[in-house]
Amino acid sequence: MTSSEEGEQQPRSTSSMWKSYLYQLQQEAPTPFLVPCEDKPPDTPPHYGQEYHGTMGRHRCQELLSREGSYLVRHSDTSYGFYTLSLRFNGQIKHYRLYHDGRQHYVGEKRFDCLRSLVADGLVTLYIELKAGEQLRNISAGSYVNSPHYTLTRSIRKQIQSRRKVAANRENVKPRKQKVAEKEVKKEVDGSIFYVSSKKEETVEEEEGEGEEKEESCEVTTQRPHRFHVNTFSGLHWCGFCGHFLWGFVWQGVKCQDCGLKAHKQCSCKVPNDCCPDLNHLHNIFGVDLTTSLGVKTGPGSSGTGEVMEVPSVVTECVAEVEARGLTSEGIYRVPGSQEQIETLKLAFERDGNRVCLNERSVSDINVVAGLLKLYLRLLPIPLITTQCFTTLQTVCKLSDPEARISSIREAVLTLPPAHFATLKAIITHLGRVYEHCAVNKMSATSLSTVFAPTLIQSPPQTSNLQPADLLALANTSLQPRVVEVLIIYHRDVFQ
């Protein structure tokens, strides 16, 4: 049975490592609507524009702000010398004392270049507090060992610890002739070990020599505190501690200056002193939102010219390799590859994707390459087929008229973010080619869709604390493979 094999290979918990409920709420939150003042009041301060209405009482304000998200700035008639931001949220008018420091606007501690961003950020925060107040209070309740940051860096931590052990052993033995070498090892341990490629093979051998090392012992006890600074993230980011979305538009959370760990401010207090500066040298490919990683990446690994790369290199390389030697491999994508080898490849991609070679000499088992592709897709915080797109797809896939069905499916996938559309097209087209060889590889469209559906579409979480969106997802789980199957069978028409 295909699904049980898949289940054994990858525990379901990894698929719900990221929690996108707060991201969905940010998408749903009301957006700012400026109520302009028609005649510019003579006392308009230079940092306000059309939103400034001069002196105004609350009653008039109530009349003007009729639509959800609408806002204006007024000179309060009760507190002289202060300005008030008034906005409508959840059917009520809210008033805030508004400040300007000569450069930026603020109401609380966050500072904004423009008032519209301040209102947008405020509306998102109000909406999230309204809809998910209970979740917010418990956001930092989880354990660090089960956190996304810990899960994603497990193999790396293990390697760091292994290298430290090796270094410590050498320190104890202290052979006289190796004094020069010792100096080098020290540098390796304290500095950026992941760039010392010439030492790579040697280290792998040493690691293998320590075969009895257990999985739980991979915790790195550096006792080094993280250096968290408040950070404004561009793109979409998730908390490495609780797995929830870092909502808002500025100062969404904190980031460790040494290892790059991102977290909510309140979650950062729960992270132990286990900072590994080495982690900052990784490229953050796995577990990073697709749009964010493709949109902001301009360094090595991208097209090099700074323009948006259409499909992540890990996807194109895995697809190319499977098409080169896996199309006729029986049970491709169903037969699991070695978990350890997949983790090693993942780490190699994180270090430097340009130097990873997936050919037969480097990776003899094609199922490891197939497993790497599935792992990448499974670790995306926002699934390749977004919840919104899936909702449409499951409806249109049932249409009886073939032509209407195809054109509706095409319309639905076109609503995906560009990075998601391009990557989905690459994956589904590839699965179409795998399916064309089903007589040999024994992978029917049904088998492929059973294997891929949980990695392409959000799986419902395993906890009892289900959110409304999760309940919906749970109800639709049985439709996931059907949607993917239809995409595979009609890929030529859908993605023509």
Question: CB-wise, 247 or 349, nearer to Zn ion?
Answer: 247
Minimum Å gap between C-beta 280 and Zn ion is 8
Single out the residue of 160, 218, 242, 396 in contact with Zn ion (rule: CB under 5 A).
Answer: 242
Minimum Å gap between C-beta 228 and Zn ion is 8
**How big is the site for Zn ion, counted in residues (CB under 5 A)?**
10
Question: CB-wise, 157 or 264, nearer to Zn ion?
Answer: 264
Question: CB-wise, 267 or 358, nearer to Zn ion?
Answer: 267
17 near Zn ion, rule: CB under 5 A: no
258 near Zn ion, rule: CB under 5 A: yes
Q: Point out which span in 5-13, 20-28, 219-227, 357-365 binds Zn ion (CB under 5 A).
A: 219-227
Minimum Å gap between C-beta 137 and Zn ion is 12
Question: CB-wise, 272 or 300, nearer to Zn ion?
Answer: 272
Question: CB-wise, 54 or 142, nearer to Zn ion?
Answer: 142
Could you tell me if 432 and 491 are in contact, meaning their C-beta atoms sit under 8 angstroms apart?
yes
Q: What is the 3-state secondary structure (H, E, C) of the chain?
A: CHHHHHHHHCCHHHHHCCECHHHHHHHHCCCCEECCCCCCCCCCCCCCCCCEEEEECHHHHHHHCCCCCEEEEEEECCCCCCEEEEEEECCEEEEEEEEECCCCEECCCCEECCHHHHHHHHHHHHHHHHHHHHHHHCCCCCCHHHCHHHHHCHHHHHHHHHHHHHHHHHHHHCCHHHHHHHHHHHHHHHCCHHHCHHHHHHHHHHHHHCCCCCHHHHCCCCCECCCEEEECCCCCCECCCCCEECCCCCCCEEEECCCCCEECHHHHCCCCCECCHHHHHCCCCCCCCHHHHHHHCCCECECCCCCCCCCCHHHHHHHHHHHHHCCCCCCCCCCCCCHHHHHHHHHHHHHHHHHCCCCCCCCCCHHHHHHHHHHHHHCCCCCCECHHHHHHHHHHCCCCCHHHHHHHHHHHHHCCCHHHHHHHHHHHHHHHHHHHCHHHHCCCHHHHHHHHHHHHECCCCCCCCCCHHHHHHHHHHHHHHHHHHHHHHCHHHHCC
Distances (CA, A) of 259 to 149, 218, 283, 367: 11, 17, 12, 32
Question: CB-wise, 120 or 275, nearer to Zn ion?
Answer: 275
Minimum Å gap between C-beta 143 and Zn ion is 13
Minimum Å gap between C-beta 365 and Zn ion is 35
Residues in 87-116 that interact with Zn ion by CB under 5 A: none
Single out the residue of 115, 120, 271, 275 in contact with Zn ion (rule: CB under 5 A).
Answer: 275
Site string for Zn ion, 221-240 (x = CB under 5 A): -----x------------x-
Q: Point out which span in 156-164, 172-180, 263-271, 376-384 binds Zn ion (CB under 5 A).
A: 263-271
Minimum Å gap between C-beta 30 and Zn ion is 24
Q: Point out which span in 182-190, 272-280, 459-467, 474-482 binds Zn ion (CB under 5 A).
A: 272-280
Q: Point out which span in 170-178, 191-199, 208-216, 260-268 binds Zn ion (CB under 5 A).
A: 260-268
Question: CB-wise, 228 or 490, nearer to Zn ion?
Answer: 228
Could you tell me if 349 and 321 are in contact, meaning their C-beta atoms sit under 8 angstroms apart?
no
264 near Zn ion, rule: CB under 5 A: yes
Minimum Å gap between C-beta 91 and Zn ion is 30
Tokens 């592709």 — which residue? 373
Question: CB-wise, 176 or 229, nearer to Zn ion?
Answer: 229
Q: Point out which span in 67-75, 273-281, 360-368, 374-382 binds Zn ion (CB under 5 A).
A: 273-281
Question: CB-wise, 230 or 489, nearer to Zn ion?
Answer: 230
**Amino acid, res. 211:** G
Of 167, 172, 169, give the one whose Cα is nearest residue 186: 167
Minimum Å gap between C-beta 9 and Zn ion is 29
157 near Zn ion, rule: CB under 5 A: no
Question: CB-wise, 276 or 332, nearer to Zn ion?
Answer: 276
Single out the residue of 156, 218, 259, 488 in contact with Zn ion (rule: CB under 5 A).
Answer: 259
Handedness of CA 285, 288, 289, 295 (dihedral sign): negative
Question: CB-wise, 260 or 301, nearer to Zn ion?
Answer: 260
Q: How far apart are alpha carbons 461 and 237 in whole angstroms?
A: 19
**Tokens describing residue 476:** 């639709």
Q: Point out which span in 37-45, 141-149, 220-228, 468-476 binds Zn ion (CB under 5 A).
A: 220-228
Minimum Å gap between C-beta 260 and Zn ion is 7
Minimum Å gap between C-beta 100 and Zn ion is 31
Of 252, 257, 259, give the one whose Cα is nearest residue 232: 252
Minimum Å gap between C-beta 381 and Zn ion is 13
Question: CB-wise, 37 or 254, nearer to Zn ion?
Answer: 254
267 near Zn ion, rule: CB under 5 A: yes
Question: CB-wise, 242 or 382, nearer to Zn ion?
Answer: 242
Q: How many CA atoms lie within 13 A of 318 on its CB side?
A: 28
Single out the residue of 37, 256, 385, 483 in contact with Zn ion (rule: CB under 5 A).
Answer: 256
Site residues for Zn ion per CB under 5 A = 226, 239, 241-242, 256, 258-259, 264, 267, 275
